Amino acid sequence: MRVFNFNGGPAALPLPVLREVQEEFLDWHGTGMSIVENSHRAKEVAAMATEAQNLLLELLGLSSEQWAVAFCQGGASLQFAMVPLNFAPQGTVCDYIDTGLWSSKAFQEAKICGSGARFAASSKDADYTFIPSQYDYSEKPQYVYLTSNNTVRGTQWPSFPTGAPGPLVADVSSEFLSRPLDLTDFGLIFAGAQKNVAPAGLTIAVIRRSFAITGQTGLPHMLDYRTFIDNDSMYNTPPVFAIYVAGLVFKWLKNTVGGLKAMEAKNKAKAALLYSAIDNSGGFYSGTAQVGSRSPMNVTFRLSDSSLEKPFQEEAKKEGLVGLGGHRSVGGLRASLYNALDLDAVEALTGFMAEFKRKKG
């Protein structure tokens, strides 16, 4: 029996995609081999990767003349270093907007890499419960960095800063392809694929070509974005299986869901149902993020009696509701409502929450 998977990542994948993977796993596209056995130099694999890149740009509404897709490895955590290594060499300044664990980690990596990283804003003093709206920018930063959705703290940028003095760069891992994004002011976005797109092992960077060419030269090849762009992400052996699954997810988003606007509507409906259950619980449940900054992807909450949080998870698991523990750094509870999770999963969760409150409240 399949459970309702609320894990923060690796997370649920669309069931039609999993079934397609299962059906063609032993003989992929008539090659007589599994996709995991095919060479990344095979023409069929190269065509699959190119199609995935094109589908992604189409979903994002971007032109291949202006934007490039890089299929990378190392997770979003390696991007924390690649960004400053490429675009903020020693002697330059880059601004970071601190909204939680992952932006803080990215900032520390930038400092290690020798860049003049500084905070333009932070919500740390308020326990990262909101997205800042006032910024103290440097005069000419190489870029302005943000984390668009904060998995740990359950906050999301409702809209991005305008008028920043440098190109925006964002880690969009935990909301990637969950809604349309206006990338007008961006030079680069990146995402670990294991939350909304594919199995762990693939990291996707979407880079404005005019921004990529401003990167410093002389870097190790695998840390230079131009290596990925110039070699169609085939400089070394990429995570072929994860790229394949990502391509199937892109097709699902386009052909079954109907694009990112339709996906956003589904995600808003799921989040509205869960936040309503929390807000109307009479204080038995309470959200941890301020209302104007709440994430539709990662709903973080606590119980008025924290000693009930472990029993809550244990009883939920018995009902087929798994992955509801908060991040290890903050505790509490969290329900991740990624794209592949349907409304019926949230209905099951809110029904369980009502029953748990009836028994324990």
Q: Which two tokens stand for residue 305?
A: 């009696």
**CA separation for the pair 114, 90 (Å, rounded):** 5
Tell me how far CA of residue 217 lies from CA of 67, 145, 196, 212, in angstroms. 20, 21, 33, 11
Comparing CA positions, the residue from 288, 282, 266 lying closest to residue 335 is 288
**CA separation for the pair 55, 108 (Å, rounded):** 34
Residues labelled as active-site residues: 102, 171, 195
Phi-psi region at 9: left, alpha or beta (left = phi > 0; alpha = psi -120 to 50):
left
Mapping DSSP to helix (H, G, I), strand (E, B) and coil, where does residue 101 land? helix
**CA separation for the pair 179, 247 (Å, rounded):** 18
- How many residues does the structure list for the chain? 361
**CA separation for the pair 122, 145 (Å, rounded):** 12
**CA separation for the pair 346, 335 (Å, rounded):** 9
